[in-house]
Structure 1
């Protein structure tokens, strides 16, 4: 009898454990919904940082929402159509880690043919204006640093440089170049600073089709070449230039393809650093998520493109009203307008993806 009771209790425990949803494991209902969704795919994944950037898309007349939504991992995956093209819309939340987690969930769970990431950004390029919508060809993560010990400089090897963990190839920022005296910034080569130098580092890349744990490195991650080439058709698109009847931009905003953008989990509102990264890297949009999306898609071999509307000149200094909050709504709306047009190209001109060289 005792043996039968033990067997019964053990069986109940096993059944309870099997039916209990473990952390990170899909429950039966969610898995069924995912299977149903994937059978209807593939989809273009629209990855968006924040709600104020996502809502204009959800309210856009071209977006037709499906009744299907799937919640998993603290994210909500919304299904719908844009100009007849099947899409999944998901909000990441702020910063590189959130963007990376969300993008990997999207690619792991769903049948995704490509990713479009969009939102607003600060501007580091003095030739561009607030309201412009930028489409960079390359993205970097510019907050992966090796912070050098005080007293050492460019000729001194970094810790773990010999085995290839860190490198001096990309270059460095010397804090002493930004010594401040009498509230004026001056470049003083003789003045030192305990913060010394930070050296920019490439990301470790582990391609999905590579050998596990064999790393590659990349500082500049290219967007999909096909997507980038067809994005040229977006140039000339008419964009909004007024927030309301009394608040308008001095320059008519434009869609422009640029060379580079950069990301870090840092809100950049500093003129000196903005100027430094533009001079060093020739970047235009600066923000907090895109490089993470780029890195995940690059590793997973999924086509992607990033569309970022400029809401302010990072750190101030423009004649135009330069508080990010002033033109955030306008920038978000312009980014959505460009995204919808890009999806329309994918929907109605699929031949452009097959024959982009012509």
Structure 2
């Protein structure tokens, strides 16, 4: 496709987020196709842009439908690394809008000490789980509702009751007539991550709660097995 045409462009190359998308050097092509780089170079020359990151269609659609937003006529969007970057103007600002889903940005590494249920593990042992989960994404259920009541936005597919929940009154110390007193905090329901696979269809989300660990970490841990620590 010629650089001068106005057709949207699709690319499935991994490795860049919204910020990196705007800051790629014109000579550092790497695994990015030359056609994509020409598009990015053209956008960079027209910048700078205000980056707008939204989690889902519920918040994206009102912005796109607003008369304040005008899509770029020559390049309204760029599909890149499993996401759709929408280019245009919002009032007097040049903007690039991207939907990221309800999740963490990239990943997490937990480092520190913790208890364990295996007496054979000692301080200094390296342990790698087979699966991990990010449990910080919740839906807080209003007081008075229970497991049989639908969560807010559940019908839109944004939230679910499939993973499980915590009922705060189960941890109350206060009782009345031998029964636990209701807690105004009620329930919180754990939610899966929303992810956009690099080679998937842009803006078509997938959900994942239990995430398998990259096998590379197991090979790295194996190399550490006989490592002797020196004294500094």
Q: If the TM-score is normalised by the length of the shorter chain, which range does it land in?
A: 0.3 to 0.5
TM-score, length-normalised on structure 1? 0.32
Higher relative contact order (CA 8 A, sep 6+): 1
Q: Name the one with the larger helix percent.
A: 1
TM-score, length-normalised on structure 2? 0.47
Q: Name the one with the larger strand percent.
A: 1
